[in-house]
């Protein structure tokens, strides 16, 4: 049972909660605005991209602002979550050496803290809707499903990154560049039907892109087809299970390399 994902730490929910809160406090320690940055970051990113793309091209699509903030919300959570997951073991090496905690515990905590900070991002998301005179429909009720898929994707990738970071610290620089590039190949400010070639090919294997597209459909009063739900879910859970298996296989090397 301990080899089943998350099974070995389900009885530590209160400890996970404590570490999630502590992680958030440490992340924003020394800043004046504290956790407000979790809302300001996606908001400022939205303002910048909205001003730029509204200035350099004619946005023929309706509700471009809401389309844009929907993509930014998922992208921002993905980047923040995976970056936290990447450093989750190295940053807690002293705790790992001092206490009898499962190594899997720390990527889970990183994803958990991202989940808590997500609520600030959602405030920005829903707060911008009346500003741009947009009213969500009943399909918005499917949004939590898409968010759950995103969190599983974050955790699966965090399993990979947290362990690789122990063995190869260069992954930090690589993932920073990769995350920056990801914004251009994910349908955040462009529409699938407006592109072809390499962007479509990348989108088909980009799990974040699939999640963002599901989010766009739900926000704009469309229910994704069963095929779209299935494809995105399978893609996410393949990454999640592969990340967990990879973590289980090589976690024994963690202590000796810290």
The pTM is what? 0.90
Q: Is the pLDDT of residue 227 over 60?
A: yes
Q: Is the pLDDT of residue 1 over 50?
A: no
Decide if 33 contacts 15 (C-beta within 8 A). no
State residue 68's pLDDT score. 94
Q: What is the pLDDT of residues 153-202, one digit of tens each?
A: 999 999 999 999 988 888 999 999 999 999 999 999 888 888 888 999 99
User: 97, exposed or middle or buried, with CB in 10 Å at 0-12, 13-18, 19+?
Assistant: exposed
Structure tokens at 232: 């995105």
CA distance 190 to 68: 9
Longest dimension (CA), the chain: 58
Kind plus residue range of the DSSP H or E element containing 52: helix 37-56
The owner of tokens 């992680």 is 23
Structure tokens at 218: 């739900």
CA distance 197 to 174: 25
Q: Could you give the angle at the alpha carbon of 133 between the alpha carbons of 132 and 135, nearest 5°?
A: 120
Q: What is the pLDDT of residues 119-163, one digit of tens each?
A: 999 999 999 999 999 999 999 999 999 999 999 999 999 999 999
State residue 150's pLDDT score. 97
Q: What is the pLDDT of residues 20-47, one digit of tens each?
A: 888 888 888 888 887 888 889 999 999 9
Residue 56 CB partners (closer than 8 Å, separation 6+): none
């Amino acid at each position: 049972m301990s080899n089943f994902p998350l099974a070995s730490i389900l009885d530590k929910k209160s400890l996970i909660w404590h570490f999630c809160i502590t992680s958030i406090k440490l992340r924003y320690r020394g800043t004046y605005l504290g956790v407000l940055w979790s809302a300001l970051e996606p908001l400022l990113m939205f303002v910048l991209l909205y001003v730029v793309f509204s200035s350099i091209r004619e946005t023929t699509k309706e509700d471009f602002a809401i389309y844009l903030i929907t993509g930014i919300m998922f992208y921002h959570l993905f980047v923040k979550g995976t970056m936290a997951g990447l450093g989750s073991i190295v940053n807690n090496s002293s705790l790992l050496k001092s206490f009898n905690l499962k190594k899997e515990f720390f990527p889970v905590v990183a994803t958990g803290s991202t989940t808590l900070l997500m609520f600030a991002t959602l405030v920005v998301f829903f707060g911008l809707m009346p500003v741009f005179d947009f009213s969500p429909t009943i399909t918005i009720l499917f949004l939590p499903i898409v968010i759950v898929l995103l969190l599983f994707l974050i955790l699966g990738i965090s399993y990979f990154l947290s362990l690789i970071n122990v063995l190869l610290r260069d992954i930090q620089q690589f993932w920073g560049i990769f995350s920056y590039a990801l914004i251009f190949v994910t349908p955040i400010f462009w529409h699938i039907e407006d592109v072809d070639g390499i962007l479509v090919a990348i989108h088909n294997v980009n799990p974040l892109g699939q999640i963002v597209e599901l989010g766009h459909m739900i926000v704009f009063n469309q229910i994704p087809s069963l095929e779209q739900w299935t494809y995105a879910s399978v893609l996410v859970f393949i990454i999640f299970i592969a990340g967990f298996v990879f973590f289980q296989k090589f976690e024994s090397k963690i202590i000796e390399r810290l």
